[in-house]
Structure 1
Amino acid sequence: MRFATLGLTAATAMSFSTSTIAEVDVSASAGVASSYLFRGKDLGNGNGAIFGDITGTVGGAYASVWASSGDANGSEYDLIAGYALDAGPVSLNAGVVNYVYPSISGSDSFGDLSEVFVEVGFEMVTFSYWDNVAGDTDYEYYSLSAELGAFSAVLGYSDVEDDATYDNEDYSLDYTHLDITYAYNDNLSFTVSKIVDFEKDLNANNELSSDDYDALSTANQTAYDSLSFIDDDLLFVVSYSMPIK
């Protein structure tokens, strides 16, 4: 998902075309990062990550597979499909992404974490909206990003609310993060990230046993981890990626 300031956008996956077959453009890339930074949080608990993707596009439509070793829960791969277009200075991108964690024994179904997203860009500024449409946890994510030369910034807001509850406990979590990235070149980038504000609301009896935790859906495990610990320390990430030709 997404190192440095990146969410899942068509542009990130379609930057390098390796072949064209019957008007289908195929691109791929691979890279490494010093940690798995996603929406202001280090999902790898300080461990580095290896990642890669492959994307096929026909006109504005695209489908992509993104995979990484860096999540604390084990391996991860994401399935993405969407449509992107440009209309003068305005860019539009909409689609769906499914996050899959094959190494989680407690995952109860494929598609436990699925988001729909819409991105609208104007010149150097982009607004993004992401909404989880599967699993028990209801969450939304908003971001406003901007680019200026080699620098880019993302201000993101995550809103998690669980009405289905785990262990009969309602919970909610809101946090805001700021990421600033310097792209040394097309391959190497440096990012600093900070959670600048957060608020969580848990009932008192929120501790789960290991068996109860394993029985949670993937979405609820992720939400529980987020609520149990918020790291608002300054994060620094070095990322290197390159096209596969």
Structure 2
Amino acid sequence: MKMKQKLIAGAIALSAMAGFSVPAAHAEVSAAIGAANMYYWRGLDLGAGDPQIWGDLIVSGSGFYGGVWAGSGDAAMGQEYDLYVGYGNAVGDFKFDISVWSYSYPKPSATAELVDGEIEYVSADPLSPGDLVEAVVMVGYGPIAFTYYENLEGADDYNYMTLAGTFGDFTVKYGVHEDDLSHVDLTYAYNDKLSFTVGKVVDDVDGSYNDEAKFVVGFALPIE
């Protein structure tokens, strides 16, 4: 996507966030808090082994939703909060969801960059709403779902995609970052609050990432 198109897309995304609303008569508000032994993100441990805590607040109605997610545990970028809006629905076994996310980091300590095949940490500027924006599209049928993530602002030409299947309490996911990294996750949902995940990088073109298996224990608690 050309830079002009990206700027236009980013502006549209921010306008959507600013103007999003759900009719009060149909709106539902939900919230949750949670924790995990690491910040596991798309096959990578962003916290370098440190645990993560997070919270989520969602307003939804008639298929539309919007909210804010906040979490700790990112070793390089520090505390994070994300704003998002979207719409999802299902017709029979077919389902879809379209959303836009803005990722913000008020006080980053550093950012990771790949330099000559090695990860280096350099000083980073704060990221405010609208600086790093991503569109997410999911389509699924029955237990299978394909999700595509496309950067709109802040990370030129980055994309990520997953193919996942949920069978009973187990979910298998294959994820691909652009063309240089892929991973496989196996998750067991003990119940709607406790889950266990084993993830492993299976294809690292540059050999720059930790490909050891990662074991994640996650806990989520709805706030009622």
Q: Distance in 1 between matches of 2:71 and 2:31?
A: 14
In the TM superposition, what is the alpha-carbon distance from 1:174 to its structure 2 partner? Answer: 1.2
User: What residue identity is the alignment partner of 1:175?
Assistant: L
Q: Distance in 2 between matches of 1:98 and 1:136?
A: 12
Match of 2:31 among 28, 33, 53: 28
In the TM superposition, what is the alpha-carbon distance from 1:232 to its structure 2 partner? Answer: 0.7
- What is the aligned partner in structure 1 of residue 184 from structure 2? 178
Q: TM-score, normalised by structure 2?
A: 0.79
Aligned length: 186
Q: For 1:213-238, what per-residue CA distance to the aligned partner results, in whole angstroms no more than 9, with x for missing partners?
A: xxxxxxxxxxxxxx9x4111100000
Match of 1:195 among 198, 201, 210: 201
Q: TM-score, normalised by structure 1?
A: 0.72
- What is the aligned partner in structure 2 of residue 221 from structure 1? none
- What is the aligned partner in structure 1 of residue 51 from structure 2? 48
In the superposition, relative to structure 1, how do residues 106 and 126 fare at CA in structure 2: closer, same or farther (>3 Å)?
Answer: same
In the TM superposition, what is the alpha-carbon distance from 1:109 to its structure 2 partner? Answer: 5.3
User: What residue identity is the alignment partner of 1:244?
Assistant: I
In the superposition, relative to structure 1, how do residues 109 and 22 fare at CA in structure 2: closer, same or farther (>3 Å)?
Answer: closer
In the TM superposition, what is the alpha-carbon distance from 1:150 to its structure 2 partner? Answer: 0.8
Q: Distance in 2 between matches of 1:127 and 1:150?
A: 19
Q: Distance in 1 between matches of 2:42 and 2:127?
A: 24
Percent of pairs with identical residues: 42
In the TM superposition, what is the alpha-carbon distance from 1:117 to its structure 2 partner? Answer: 1.1
Alignment of 1:11-160 (within 5 A): 22-72=25-75, 73-104=77-108, 106-107=125-126, 110-159=129-178
Cα RMSD after superposing both structures? 1.7
Match of 2:212 among 233, 236, 240: 233
In the superposition, relative to structure 1, how do residues 127 and 136 fare at CA in structure 2: closer, same or farther (>3 Å)?
Answer: closer
In the TM superposition, what is the alpha-carbon distance from 1:157 to its structure 2 partner? Answer: 0.4
In the TM superposition, what is the alpha-carbon distance from 1:70 to its structure 2 partner? Answer: 1.2
Q: For 1:4-36, what per-residue CA distance to the aligned partner results, in whole angstroms no more than 9, with x for missing partners?
A: xxxxxxxxxxxxxxxx95210111110110000
Q: Give ranges in structure 1 of 5+ residues lacking alignment.
A: 1-19, 160-172, 201-226
In the TM superposition, what is the alpha-carbon distance from 1:83 to its structure 2 partner? Answer: 0.4
In the TM superposition, what is the alpha-carbon distance from 1:129 to its structure 2 partner? Answer: 0.4
